[in-house]
Amino acid sequence: MEKIRSVSRRNFIRQSSAGLGGGLVGLSISACAPSEPAESRKMARRVSVASIDLKGLWPDRTRESRIKRMLERMENVAGLHPDLVCLPELFDTSWVEEQVVLSEIAEDEITPGPVTGRIAEFAKKNNCYVACPIYTKKAGNFYNSCLLIDRKGNIAGAYNKMHPVKDEIITGTPGKETIGILPGALNQPVIETDFGKVGIQICYDANWQDGWENFQKQGAEIILFTSQFPGGRILNYFAWRYGCYVISATGSDARVIDMSGNDLHSSSTFVRYTWADINLEKLNADTWPTNERLPDLFNKYGSSLGIKVFDNTGVITIESLDSKIKVRDVLNEFKILTVDENVKASEVVQDKYRI
| Model pLDDT for residues 34-73, shown as the tens digit of each residue | 444 434 345 558 999 999 999 999 889 999 999 999 999 9
The rounded radius of gyration (Å) of the Cα atoms in the chain is 21
The answer to which of 10-24, 53-67, 211-225, 275-289 has the lowest mean pLDDT is: 10-24
Residue range 109-134: average pLDDT?
A: 97
Domains of the chain by residue range = 3-280, 283-353
The pTM of this model reads 0.87
- Is 3.60.110.10 the CATH classification of the domain at 3-280? yes
Mean pLDDT score, 94-101: 93
